[in-house]
């Protein structure tokens, strides 16, 4: 089943203002809230669908990307988690945690009763992974060892004695207008509603210990230097068994000595001899994942650029195919000549057979660069 258009989900137009988007989401969230539709799976899915639409359309950058590319432009998945949008991976607690302030005071548990009980969530971790060009083009799978905070075995909890499990503290103040009541997050449990009861030896006050874990990460084809992948639920554990944080994976590109990247395109230099340039030849060059043969026409000039279509990087968004490989030809001028070679070239100069005689059809450097991208 294909994903519905986000504007259709919230029943708004593409020209809707920020306030109109927020108002439309609040309307849908109230309509399909689980408290109002207990046991209704369809309502729950529409509740999540509305949250996903709001998450994108309320963010200027994501909204612009969605308006241009649609759902295809909202990213893929890494290790089961989404990046560049929800990727369908947000659960009810995520929604309440991120957007609960929009709902107001309509429901207990999600919107309501004043202030919602906080859900304990672990902190995110960030690591860097180096990829070579072949791994970036084809995608790969990496297994890494990560030191993270994990809930120690045997940890138990009890209801917070300060707030009685509500997660909030109520303060009553006497004013000239009478008594005023305010609610604040409980300072003892930080809004969770419970505190550690039994903590094993070696664990911290939140019942967490540092342990090493092996995590497998799926790298999508077309990954780029600096892109961040989100592996959901593989960050630090939350205190007292809440929701784990995420593992944020930043991609670093290993520098290739021969092949240079520019966006989806690749570049490399090829040196040929004067004789090969004059007579023409066939050369085998390296491309990512193998080798290809290219033909050098006779009379090839130094600076000529050959374009190998589709030999570059795939587009990470999944459209536009692959980039190209550009081979920059350099004619190598011999630096040491034998006596016979010198006499040969001298005779050619004297006869005028090897004079530089442009025909007027030669392209300038800027014309060559323009041709590369046409």
Res. 253 pLDDT band, cuts 50 70 90: confident
135 vs 37, residue with greater confidence: 135
Q: Which three-class secondary structure string do you get for 13-51?
A: CCCCCHHHHHHHHHHHHHHHCCCCCCCCHHHHHHHHHHH
Integer distance in angstroms from the first to the last C-alpha of the chain?
Answer: 38
Q: Find residue 194's DSSP bridge partners.
A: 159
CA 211 – CA 247 distance, rounded (Å): 15
The pLDDT assigned to 98 comes to 52
Helix (H) or strand (E) holding 181: strand 178-185
For the segment 299-325, the average pLDDT, to the nearest whole number, is 82
pLDDT at 22 over 60: yes
Give the distance from CA 245 to its chain's centroid.
17
CA 316 – CA 167 distance, rounded (Å): 43
Contacts of 57 (CB under 8 A, 6+ apart): 6, 7, 10, 16, 21, 63, 66
Res. 96 pLDDT band, cuts 50 70 90: low
For the segment 71-79, the average pLDDT, to the nearest whole number, is 56
pLDDT at 366 over 70: no
Res. 79 pLDDT band, cuts 50 70 90: very low
Per-residue burial over 22-43, b = 16 or more CB atoms within 10 Å of its CB, e = otherwise: bebbbebbbebbbeeeeeeeeb
36 vs 279, residue with greater confidence: 279
- Number of alpha carbons in the 13 Å side-chain half-sphere of residue 240: 20
CA 336 – CA 39 distance, rounded (Å): 86
169-173, 181-185, 280-284, 350-354: least confidently modelled range: 350-354
Q: Which three-class secondary structure string do you get for 103-117?
A: HCCCCCCCCCCCCCC
185 vs 79, residue with greater confidence: 185
Kind of pairing between the strands at 325-332 and 156-159: unpaired
3-state helix, strand, coil in the chain (%, to 5): 25, 30, 45
For the segment 160-186, the average pLDDT, to the nearest whole number, is 78
Residue where the block lists tokens 């350099």: 330
pLDDT > 90 fraction of the chain, expressed in percent and rounded: 21
CA 9 – CA 60 distance, rounded (Å): 18
For the segment 300-307, the average pLDDT, to the nearest whole number, is 91
pLDDT at 144 over 90: yes
Tokens matching residue 98: 């991120």
Res. 288 pLDDT band, cuts 50 70 90: confident
The pLDDT assigned to 156 comes to 86
pLDDT at 359 over 80: no
pLDDT at 66 over 90: no
Let me know the angle formed at the C-alpha of 97 by 125 and 99, rounded to the nearest 5 degrees. 125
């Amino acid at each position: 089943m294909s994903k519905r258009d986000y504007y259709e989900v919230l029943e708004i137009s593409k020209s809707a203002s920020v306030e109109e988007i927020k108002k439309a989401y609040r309307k849908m969230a109230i309509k399909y809230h689980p408290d109002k539709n207990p046991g209704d799976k369809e309502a729950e899915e529409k509740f999540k669908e509305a949250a996903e639409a709001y998450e994108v359309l309320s963010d200027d950058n994501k909204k612009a990307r969605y308006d241009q590319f649609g759902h295809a432009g909202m990213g893929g998945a890494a290790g089961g988690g989404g990046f560049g949008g929800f990727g369908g991976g947000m659960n009810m607690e995520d929604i309440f945690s991120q957007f609960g302030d929009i709902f107001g005071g309509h429901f207990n548990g999600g919107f309501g009763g004043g202030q919602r009980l906080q859900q304990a969530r672990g902190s995110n971790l960030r690591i860097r992974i180096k990829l070579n060009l072949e791994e970036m083009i084809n995608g790969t799978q990496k297994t890494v060892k990560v030191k993270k905070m994990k809930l120690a075995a045997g940890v138990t909890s009890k209801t917070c004695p300060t707030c009685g499990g509500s997660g909030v503290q109520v303060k009553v103040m006497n004013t000239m207008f009478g008594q005023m009541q305010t609610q604040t997050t409980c300072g003892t449990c930080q809004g969770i509603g419970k505190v550690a009861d039994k903590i094993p030896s070696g664990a911290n006050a939140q019942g967490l210990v540092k342990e090493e874990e092996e995590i497998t990460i799926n790298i999508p084809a077309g990954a780029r230097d600096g892109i961040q992948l989100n592996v959901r639920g593989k960050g630090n554990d939350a205190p007292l068994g809440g929701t784990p944080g995420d593992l944020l994976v930043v991609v670093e590109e290993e520098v290739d000595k021969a092949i240079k990247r520019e966006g989806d395109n690749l570049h490399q230099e090829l040196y040929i001899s004067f004789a090969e340039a004059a007579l023409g030849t066939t050369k085998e060059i390296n491309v990512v994942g193998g080798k290809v043969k290219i033909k050098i026409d006779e009379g090839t000039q130094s600076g000529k650029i050959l374009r190998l279509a589709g030999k570059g990087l795939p587009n990470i968004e999944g459209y536009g195919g692959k980039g190209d490989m550009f081979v920059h030809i350099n004619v190598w001028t011999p630096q040491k000549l034998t006596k016979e070679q010198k006499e040969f070239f001298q005779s050619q100069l004297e006869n005028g057979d090897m004079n530089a005689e442009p025909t007027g059809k030669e392209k300038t450097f800027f014309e060559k660069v323009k041709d590369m991208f046409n």
